[in-house]
Structure formats: structure tokens, C-alpha cells
Amino acid sequence: MSELIISADVIEKSNAARKAGLERDYASLGERLERRGIAIDVIRAKVEKFAVAIPSWGVGTGGTRFARFPGAGEPRDIFDKIEDCAVISQLTRATPTVSLHIPWDKADPNRLKQAASRFGLGFDAMNSNTFSDARDQKLSYKFGSLSHADAGTRRQAVEHNLECIEIGRTLGSKALTVWIGDGSNFPGQVNFAKAFERYLDAMREVYAGLPADWKLFTEHKMYEPAFYSTVVQDWGTNYMIAKELGDKAFCLVDLGHHAPNVNIEMIVSRLIQFKKLGGFHFNDSKYGDDDLDAGSIDPYRLFLVFNELVDAELSGVEGFDPAHMLDQSHNVTDPIESLMLSAVEVQRAYAQALLVDRKALEGFQDGNDALMATQTLKAAYRTDVEPILAMARLNTGGAVDPVAAYREAGYRAKVAAERPAVAGGSGGIV
């Protein structure tokens, strides 16, 4: 039995106040879905199995290049972060794993493993960092890492990635995510082809260090920190990388890493079709890589992404098993609350996508009935699936209303007393 951070009594009391209402809402939704030929319990069972990983860096307050305004009870180290992740997992029952970032979360791997297993948590993909300089680092990444003009710097970056794999092996992780900040700020600063060739050569060495049952995820990003060109700038380049490296290499799609108005769901479909979709960093954005909470700006886009994922799941695409992770920055909210709601938003998009009448949709597509085809998607999206999500949480020991239970438990005030504010700390977003 895993240790509980929020007392079971608090959750029970919180749920007791909401249970009768939930049961009525669930029955009512179940009746309406039945008329559409959908068994609500089947959808709920799928939602209960759905999981999304919490990034360790997400439980701290983020920031911008202008300022960072830490909140009370900020996690002081990775062990505090694991406890915060355990709270999110306990209340939502949707986030059984933590995605670590090296060197920010560097600690004795056996201690890390022990700390996580206390709360029944596992480890998701490892994240390397060659976009900033660690303390005591020999060579700087100011002008790049895996694509750097200097062979020694590239070697150092490769070694760092291999170390991440080593740590991850002890922790039971099965994937390495590589995002680099390499690029240029001025036309002419970098030879595009040479930089990409150097990157590919370096990544071949990282790939060679992968255990047989691991996956390598590469993450593209259009701009920032480099503002003129980025070495891994879009999904096309990312696909080339995955294709060049081999069968264990896949593309990771961070929803915020695209130009405004890009059709991300179509990118997702293409990557699925060519067996190179590795997984996601979920977040939302309005202007650029804003790292806002998943589903907070454009929940319909999140639904459309899941529409592609469910389509692939239901049509049994071979080897289809994308990793789900959140990757967002919390500047004005309690990170635990934001992450809980974001995990629920991702689950919601999944549940809504499961409601799409795919047979009818196919008929409308084949018959060129554009209006009814799009209404078929809308009918699923408009369905309020909250009772399904809440019932899934209730069934699995979570909270019917995670934010309410969290506030009732007084967790933030408790850790604020235990964790004195520290200067600095690791914000940062990848």
C-alpha cells in the first residue's frame, strides 16, 4: 500500500459531499449516451486507464525572462517535487509517473527510486539539458551543444545524454527526450546544413547508447532561445531525425512549439501514419510558446489532437503507444492546481474523442457531406463528460473535485511552513 500525502479522511469527506450529485449526473449522461449507442461504463473504464506524466519542473513556479515570482512552499529539491507529484497523482489518479530533468533533478538514483515508490509513483521519460550551463561544466553551450562547431563541446553533450540514460536505467525509465536550444540569432551565423549534420552525428552516438527496450524522443521547437534559426525547428526536420536514427527514434510533439495557426492535429496524423509519433508535451498557447495550462486557450484543438489519437487507437495502428506528458509553466497559479486541472483537461479531450461516431463520420467523409462530418465531431466535443471523469476518479480512490479536496486539505499552507523560501531554484521549461 502506498503512502498517502493527503489524508484519506479529507478525500472521503470531500467526496461524500459530492457523491449523490455525481451519481445522478452520471446516470443522466449514461442514459443520453445510451441513446447514441455508447456504453458510459466502457468510456469510464478507458478513462481510468489513461495516464499523463507530470514534469518534475512543473511543480515549481515558472517564470519568464523578465521575472519569476515564486509561491509559498516551493519545492526545494527533487524530493519535495516528488511529494508534490504524489499529491497530484493521489487526487487525480491520472498521473502515475514523473518525468525527470537532469541535471536539475540529479540525486542518487536509488534514493530517487525509493522516494517515488513510497507513493506508488514511477518514472517517465528522462529529459537531458544541454540548453543551459550546469555549475562546474567544462565547456559552455552558449553557442550550441549537440550541433556545436567544436567537437569537444559536442562530445560533452553526448556524454551528458548517455549519463541521463544511465540514471534512467536505474529508475526504470524507458525513454530519453532530447530538446536542444541550438540555433542562431543572425542570418549567416550558422551553416544550416553543417550544423544539422553535426547534430545527426552526435545523436547517432546517443542513439547507440539506448538500451534495447528504450525509445528516443526528439522534440522540435520553432524558435527560442535562438531567434533566427533553430536546428530542430519543425516536425519535418524532426521526422528526418527519427528516420535517420532508426526504429527506436520517434518525434515528440510539444503543442506550444509551432507557429500560430499551424494544423497540429494533421502533423499528429502524419506522424502516426509513418510510425514516428513518440509522444506529447501538452500545454496551450495564445501567441507563441506560452506554456499555458493544457486546454486553457483552445480546448477544441486539444480535442482534435485526441480525435487523431483515438482514431489510431481504435483502428489498431501497429506499435501505436504515444507517451503523454504535461509541459507547462505556472506563473500566476498554484502549480499543483494547474497540473491537476491540466491532467483532467487532457483526460477530457480523450473521453470526448472516444464519443465520436466514427462510422457516421466515415460515411459523411465518403459522401462529401462536409457539414455533417464536422457536426459529428462537434457532437462529441459538446458533450459534457465531467461526470465520467469524476466517476473515474471516485472509483480509483481520487477526488471527485481535485482542486476542492486539495484546498480542503490545506496542503500548500502545510508545506509553506515546512519549506522555507529559497533563492533561485529551478524554474525553466523545455
> Do residues 154 and 139 make contact, with C-beta atoms less than 8 angstroms apart?
no
Site membership for Mn ion, residue 284 (CB under 5 A): no
Strand partners, 324: 280
How near is the Cβ of 254 to Mn ion at its closest, in Å? 4
Q: Which is nearer to Mn ion, 48 or 254 (CB)?
A: 254
Site membership for Mn ion, residue 327 (CB under 5 A): yes
Q: Which is nearer to Mn ion, 281 or 324 (CB)?
A: 281
How near is the Cβ of 243 to Mn ion at its closest, in Å? 21
Q: Which is nearer to Mn ion, 281 or 330 (CB)?
A: 281
Output the CA–CA distances (angstroms, integers) from residue 63 to 69, 94, 252, 265, 335, in the order listed. Answer: 7, 26, 23, 28, 12
Number of residues that bind Mn ion (CB under 5 A): 4
How near is the Cβ of 218 to Mn ion at its closest, in Å? 11
Site membership for Mn ion, residue 324 (CB under 5 A): no
Site membership for Mn ion, residue 289 (CB under 5 A): no
Q: Provide CB contacts within 8 A for 130, sequence distance 6+.
A: 141, 145, 146, 157, 160, 161, 180, 181
Q: Which stretch binds Mn ion (CB under 5 A): 76-84, 289-297, 325-333, 404-412?
A: 325-333
C-alpha cell at 7: 489524508
**Eight-state DSSP code of residue 241:** H
> Do residues 244 and 209 make contact, with C-beta atoms less than 8 angstroms apart?
no
Distance of CA 119 to the CA centre of its chain: 20
How near is the Cβ of 209 to Mn ion at its closest, in Å? 22
Residues of this chain, 248-277, that bind Mn ion according to CB under 5 A: 254
How near is the Cβ of 270 to Mn ion at its closest, in Å? 19
Q: Which is nearer to Mn ion, 99 or 383 (CB)?
A: 99
Of 375, 278, 290, the C-alpha closest to 321 is: 278
Residues of this chain, 196-255, that bind Mn ion according to CB under 5 A: 254
> Do residues 288 and 251 make contact, with C-beta atoms less than 8 angstroms apart?
no
Q: Which stretch binds Mn ion (CB under 5 A): 20-28, 63-71, 319-327, 338-346?
A: 319-327
Site membership for Mn ion, residue 281 (CB under 5 A): yes
Q: Which is nearer to Mn ion, 255 or 355 (CB)?
A: 255
How near is the Cβ of 190 to Mn ion at its closest, in Å? 22
Q: Footprint of Mn ion on this chain (CB under 5 A)?
A: 254, 281, 327, 430
